[in-house]
Amino acid sequence: MESDLHQVIKANDDLTPEHHQFFFYQLLRGMKYIHAANVFHRDLKPRNILANADCKLKICDFGLARVSFNDTPSAIFWTDYVATRWYRAPELCGSFFSKYTPAIDIWSIGCIFAEMLSGRPLFPGKNVVHQLDLMTDLLGTPSAESLSRIRNEKARRYLGNMRKKHPVPFSQKFPGVDPMALDLLERLLAFDPKDRPTAAEALADPYFTGLANSDREPTTQPISKLEFEFERRKLARDDVRELIYREILEYHPQMLHEYHHGGDQANFVYPSGVDRFKRQFVHLEEGVTKGEKTSPQLRQHASLPRERIIGIGDELGRPNADYCIKLHVGEEPGHTSVTDGLSKPLLNARNFLKSESISASQCVVIKEKREKDEESMSEYMHEASDATPK
């Protein structure tokens, strides 16, 4: 999709009534399908409506979408801070009602359609109070029945104490627009959510005569609660690590194949370094408290499988490490080799390159240091032999 509806509205002053009708129809058709699945989008706005050169629209950005189940307590499941403020339904501005319905999306569709007609946002509120003021300026103050069903005491008191406002005729707000379009828009922008039509009811409005066809409009079944069972599972820290590792394996087919066929999975589930990091600080602080000069603890290669750790002599302060490990390409790590009387596991080239315990530059430094030491010792022995009386 080349653009979005926000750019289309902003860049085109010559949208025809046919454009308005076709765009409006597509939005309601999409919402009919989404609501049939018991999904509430909750963040509909022009920027979240993609558009292409053929005037086809697609609804996107379901980051705030939620599934509604009949047995889910709405007061807990839903939050009122959803949808961009300008397109937010009145009941979301102050948690008016205890149960939210798909009518919150219908209101947003009405705001988008009004913006298409006028070329500018309908309710550009600077804050929630200003938003309610703009709504009541156009729609009038809500009825006593609507006020009685508002569960938020502050919102109910604010609207109840508001001076009496009379609704503005939509024909005055949107001059020159098809009256049938304005009649439908006024129904979508009803202050009380129970007075708004569903997407299917809106598509059956006379405004879409000749365009809407219920047989061609896709629908679906409500989403099963089992689809969201993962959200109800309580995961331990190791479970989260395993899930992250499984996600990483999706990008490494060979390792994924080994994982599914009984490979050694434990080698890849590494413990967190946070605890070791904390222990380093505790170790240093204890030394300062005792007035001792304390060096950091030697960092262990806990994140690597044991056979991949390569000792590199006294450079790391390890005793009995004065030996060299030979690499045999293609040889399995399980094989061993005896060097200087020590039995050590051999590493193939692939595992050696994976190891973070030693680098090629370190190998070169150690080798050069050993050669220099041997050369110095040889010169010393030679000078000593020359200095010996004959």
Give the pLDDT of residue 160: 86
43 is catalytic: yes
Sorted by sequence, the CB contacts under 8 Å of residue 250 that are 6+ apart come out as 256
Give CA–CA dist 274/241, Å, rounded. Answer: 14
- Kindly state the DSSP code that residue 127 receives in the 8-state scheme: S
Among 43, 105, 192, 205, the one annotated catalytic: 43
**Other Cβ atoms within 10 Å of 131 Cβ, number:** 20
Give the pLDDT of residue 175: 95
Give the pLDDT of residue 357: 43
Give the pLDDT of residue 379: 63
Helix, strand, or coil (residue 1) = coil
Give the pLDDT of residue 197: 97
Give the pLDDT of residue 319: 44
HSE toward the beta carbon, residue 290, CA cutoff 13 A? 9
Give CA–CA dist 140/146, Å, rounded. Answer: 12
The rounded average pLDDT for each run of 10 residues, N- to C-terminus, in the chain (390 residues) is: 90 87 96 94 94 94 85 48 78 69 94 95 91 93 85 82 92 95 97 94 94 86 84 84 89 85 57 70 77 69 46 44 43 46 44 44 49 61 55
The pTM of this model reads 0.61
- The amino acid present at 73, given as its one-letter code, is P
Please give the domain boundaries of the chain with CATH numbers for all domains: 3-223 (1.10.510.10), 234-268 (no CATH), 304-387 (no CATH)
Q: What is the largest CA-CA distance in the chain?
A: 125
Q: Is the dihedral of CA 24, 29, 35, 40 positive or negative?
A: negative
- Tell me how far CA of residue 258 lies from CA of 261, 265, 300, 332, in angstroms: 5, 9, 27, 16
Give CA–CA dist 361/338, Å, rounded. Answer: 25
Give the pLDDT of residue 25: 96
Sorted by sequence, the CB contacts under 8 Å of residue 158 that are 6+ apart come out as 94, 129, 132
- Kindly state the DSSP code that residue 216 receives in the 8-state scheme: T
Sorted by sequence, the CB contacts under 8 Å of residue 275 that are 6+ apart come out as none
- Kindly state the DSSP code that residue 323 receives in the 8-state scheme: -
Give CA–CA dist 387/331, Å, rounded. Answer: 50
Whether the Cβ atoms of residue 346 and residue 328 lie closer than 8 Å to each other: yes
